[in-house]
Structure 1
Amino acid sequence: MNTLPVITELNNSYCNQIIDIILPIQQIEFNVPVTLEGQPDLLDIETNYHQTGGNFWGATYNKQLVGTIALIGISDNAGALRKMFVRKEYRGKELGIAQLLLDNLIDYCRQNNINAIYLGTVEVLKAAHRFYEKNGFTRIEKQHLPQSFPLMPADNIFYELHLSN
């Protein structure tokens, strides 16, 4: 049995597994008022992520998809971090899955000349705020987001990270 998490690129063949991770965390664990209908990007990973210059990754542990992270390419060498979720029982420093996912996304950005990453999140996800801040993200006001940033209706807290080469 493999005991190390593995990060791999995901495509449309993973849509159902991705949805099975994300929706319960949003709706049940954190009571965020979002539905699958409000997130049509989850039904077409390749168009909404790959074709923008971004990507979608998953963390597998013992052959089970346990976490996700995605990047949408937006204008001016920038990207929007989306869909960062890890199943509750796989969170924490012991496995470091969230850190592996974020490090993978940042490496991709550096390799693809994306030098600014923006993200939106919700007030209730306090651990996520701490995680992003620990990784160098700084909180910004909504009006300071790039015009091309894809807003999600539930998001009310925003962050940015500028990468140096």
Structure 2
Amino acid sequence: MRNHYRDFLIRNWEESDRTRAAEVISYVLSEYGLGWEPNGADRDVVQVEEYYLATGGEFWVIEHQSQLVGTGAYYPIHRGEKAVEIRKMYLLSSVRGLGLGKYLLQQLEAAIKERGFQQIWIETASVMVEAVKLYESNGYNLTTGVETTRCDRVYFKLLHSGH
């Protein structure tokens, strides 16, 4: 993955991004009063190889003027049929409101579809109002069965083949 949106670069995660990606995510979480959980909900950020690369998922980072400003990822899950969970979609507040989140979501969906998956799940927290608005305005339906402690919403979307 290597893609541009305005002057942002979206690319595949590399080993040297581990600390910076974790910093972006923990910073955004703290902004919403949520905790960084390296041994729980955020273990996947510390162990990207194991959670994403080894399972057929992808983890992307977003750069702006060689600074890391966001992340986005997904991996296959055993929840429904040919399903993935989109995870770790975080953007620093300085780069929100530019359409980057929507673009990132569309790129993730395209990559997921290309790999033959049909269902997408996303968990988030109500306090993350921008995220909630983004998912709801892009065809994600609120459903039940939250699995992550700090989240209180779970969304579901069916990808239609040949769409």
| TM norm structure 1 | 0.86
Q: How large is the RMSD of aligned CA atoms in angstroms?
A: 1.7
| Deviation, structure 1 residue 142 | 1.3
| Deviation, structure 1 residue 42 | 1.2
Where does structure 1 differ by over 3 angstroms across 4 or more consecutive aligned residues? Answer: none
8 Å CA contact 1:58–1:65 kept in 2: the answer is: yes
CA offsets 1:74-117 (integer angstroms, 9 cap, x no match): 13311001101000001013xx2212211111111111001110
User: Residue 38 of structure 2 corresponds to which residue in structure 1?
Assistant: 36
Correspondence for 1:131 among 129, 134, 137: 134
8 Å CA contact 1:59–1:97 kept in 2: the answer is: no
Please say if 1:21 is aligned against 2:24.
yes
Change in Cα spacing, 1:53 to 1:13, as seen in structure 2 (3 Å) is: same
| TM norm structure 2 | 0.87
Quick one: higher RCO (CA 8 Å, sep 6+), 1 or 2?
Answer: 1
> SS of the residue aligned with 1:49?
helix
The unaligned stretches of length 5 or more in structure 1 are: 144-150
Q: How many residues align?
A: 154
User: Residue 87 of structure 2 corresponds to which residue in structure 1?
Assistant: 82
Hey, what's the Cα distance between the residues in 2 that align with 1:78 and 1:88? 30
Please say if 1:91 is aligned against 2:86.
no
Whichever residue aligns with residue 71 of structure 2, its letter is T
User: Residue 8 of structure 1 corresponds to which residue in structure 2?
Assistant: 11
